[in-house]
Amino acid sequence: MINIDINKKLHGSLGEMDLSVKLNIKEGEFVALWGKSGSGKTTLLRILAGLEEAEGSVDVFGESWLNSKKSLAPQKREIGYIFQDYALFPNMSVEENLLFVAKDRVLAKHLLEVTELTDLSKRLPNTLSGGQQQRVSICRALMKRPKLLLMDEPLSALDPSMRTKLQNEILKLHKEFNTTTIMVSHDPSEMYRLASRVLVLEQGELVADGEPKDILLKTQGSQKFSFEGELLDIRKVDVIFVAIVSIGQQLVEVVVSSLEAKELRVGQSVRVSTKSFAPMIL
Amino acid sequence: MFEIFKTLEFTPFLLSFKLASITTLILFMVSLPLAWYLSQTKSKLKAFIEAITALPIVLPPSVLGFYILWAFSQNSLLGVFFEDTFGISLAFSFTGLVVASCFYSLPFMVQPLQGGFEALNKNMLEASYISGKSKLETIFRVALPNMKPALLTATIVTFAHTVGEFGVVLMVGGSIPNETKVASVAIYEMVEVMDYDSAHIYSLLMLMMSFMVLLSVYMFNQKHSHRVGIR
């Protein structure tokens, strides 16, 4: 069990705020951390990694990493950390990046096989694509067989198809190593696929904690579909108004009444839902 | 025409290079921890230390030379201390010249190194700490190998700048043959006694060497500027 009870004053974009998190995480859990930017997600990860100071306590499987008397150095915490920008060592080959962490050739070979990087093991990181680099970084983070794996938006810099591929690999590795994991993410589908639990952080406080389907599926009542999107434009077509809404990577047209059209502002965040149609999946 | 080469004394050149090599070596060892500290610290002392480090760039060499000479003299505790403990008189000696050069060239070593450290991806350094590596190991195995252009700029420019110094050397070292008479001082003396032929040869040699050194630095840095590890 990991027990976290920390406090830190932050100077965020919205002025001063208190990051105050009290949390228990079971061994082997895959926790997704969700929230707007500036809500303190990355700071929470950095506190757990020992990269930033905080008040309070962090106990990890019976070992105290942080209490009122001491704060264990990042070097002594058994963690893996995956950065959004990979943060590989450019002067070392893929293989050397892994062996830098631990001289465990068997594990390095295995990780490179799982992530299909064996052929690239002698290459320098700068010669690899973003997706390949992030796979190296995931392997590197697992080389120490960490007790806690922290991922800060690991896939947000990648394109959607590469993201799906890496999600599968992360899932595969999580099943094999059973490493307790905390992942910061903005992508609901990613959290749904990977996480066993979703936490929502708002202004430094946990406002929701539960299973992915309870937190992420937002349909209410008799709604069948409900999508969040951005209103791009409202056009008048004859006597009706058509709103153009961007949902994910798609643009959709929705008919709105003149009254609704008056209240809507271009650029605002809207929810599009339908009730009584039977959906077709093609 | 070539007769003059036979009579020309090249010891001042050798002395200049000896001085520059020793100065560069000492400054590299001193500046590495200092530049690392400055690149990582959030302390209020940072601006203060940076200002002191940069002083030799803006101060007239005569001012710097005067203070150093005064510090080396028998009127100051430092001068007396060196005389009594090591039996070395710092003023008008090669050792004194090395010490003075270290002050004079300090910013040319510290600033590129600090810039190199600051340009490194912070996450990369943190990834090394998280991998269990100490700061020292991180500096030598992760930071320095990924900032070769900065290392080259720092050492070469420090070397070249020390070879090119004149004012401080003249004030602190005087012009004692085989001891403190370096190339730049030798040229000054040649002009004073109107030996323009020798002055021409010396000056041209200096000009060509300085240009070649700078050209090689810029060519190396251009070749390596695409290297990442820097963002």
Q: Does A42 touch chain B (CB under 8 A)?
A: no
User: Among residues B35, B29, B12, which one has the least CA distance to residue B97?
Assistant: B12
CA-nearest residue to B128 within chain A is A101
Domains of chain B, with CATH numbers? 10-39+55-224 (1.10.3720.10)
Q: Nearest residue of B to residue A150 by CA position?
A: B130
Number of CB pairs, chain A paired with chain B, less than 8 A apart: 63
pTM score: 0.83
Non-local (6+) Cβ contacts of A156 within 8 A are: A84, A185, A186, A187
Instruction: Output the pLDDT for position B54.
Output: 95
Find the CB nearest A91 among B126, B132, B146: B146
Residue of A112 and A267 predicted with greater confidence: A112
pLDDT in tens, B146-178: 999 999 999 999 999 999 899 999 999 888 888
- B130 in reach of chain A (CB within 8 A): yes
Residues of B in contact with A76 (CB under 8 A): 132
At the topology level, CATH places domain A2-216 in Rossmann fold (3.40.50)
CATH of domain A225-274: 2.40.50.100
Question: How far out from the chain centre does Cα A25 lie?
Answer: 16
Report the pLDDT value the prediction gives residue B227, as an integer from 0 to 100: 52
pLDDT band at A219 (very low <50, low <70, confident <90, very high): low
Average pLDDT over residues A219-233: 72
pLDDT tens digits, B45-54: 999 999 999 9
Q: Nearest Cβ partner of B123 from A85, A125, A144?
A: A85
CB B112 within 8 A of CB B150: yes
With contact defined as beta carbons under 8 Å apart, do A92 and A135 qualify?
A: no
Domains of chain A, residue spans: 2-216, 225-274
C-beta atoms of B127 and A81 within 8 A: yes
Report residue A238: phi and psi, to 5°.
55, -110
Cα–Cα distance, A75 to A63 (Å, whole number):
15
pLDDT at A183: 96
Q: What is the DSSP string of B84-100?
A: HHH----TTSHHHHHHH
A217 Cα to chain B: minimum distance (Å): 34
* Section A234-262 average pLDDT: 85
Is any Cβ of chain A less than 8 angstroms from the Cβ of B136? Answer: no
Minimum CA–CA partner of B131 in chain A: A101
pLDDT of A4 strictly over 90: yes
Which H, E and C letters describe B137-166, residue by residue? HHHHHHHHHHCHHHHHHHHHHHHHHHHCCC
Confidence of residue A186 (pLDDT cuts 50, 70, 90): confident
Say yes or no to pLDDT of A226 above 50.
yes
With contact defined as beta carbons under 8 Å apart, do A136 and A125 qualify? yes
pLDDT band at A214 (very low <50, low <70, confident <90, very high): confident
pLDDT at A258: 83
Contact between residue A135 and residue A166 where contact means Cβ atoms under 8 Å apart: yes
Distance CA B138, CA B132 (A): 10
Q: Does A221 touch chain B (CB under 8 A)?
A: no
* Cα A137-A141-A144 angle, rounded to 5 deg: 145
DSSP code of B120? B
Contact: A79, B130; criterion CB under 8 Å = yes
Determine the Cα–Cα distance for residues B72 and B83; give it in Å rounded to an integer. Answer: 9
CB-CB neighbors (< 8 A) of A77 in chain B:
130
Give the closest-approach CA distance of B223 to chain A in angstroms.
Answer: 15
Question: A85 to chain B: which residues are within 8 Å by CB?
Answer: 121, 123, 231
Confirm if B13 and B187 have CB atoms less than 8 A apart.
no
Residue of chain A whose Cα is closest to the Cα of B148: A91
The sign of the CA dihedral A152, A156, A157, A163 is positive
Interchain CB contact of B75 with A (< 8 Å): no
Fold agreement (A2-216, A225-274): no
Residue B86 is predicted with a pLDDT of 82
Return the pLDDT at B133. Answer: 96
pLDDT at B187 over 70: yes
Q: Give tens-digit pLDDT for A12-69.
A: 666 788 999 999 999 999 999 998 888 889 999 999 999 999 999 999 999 999 999 9
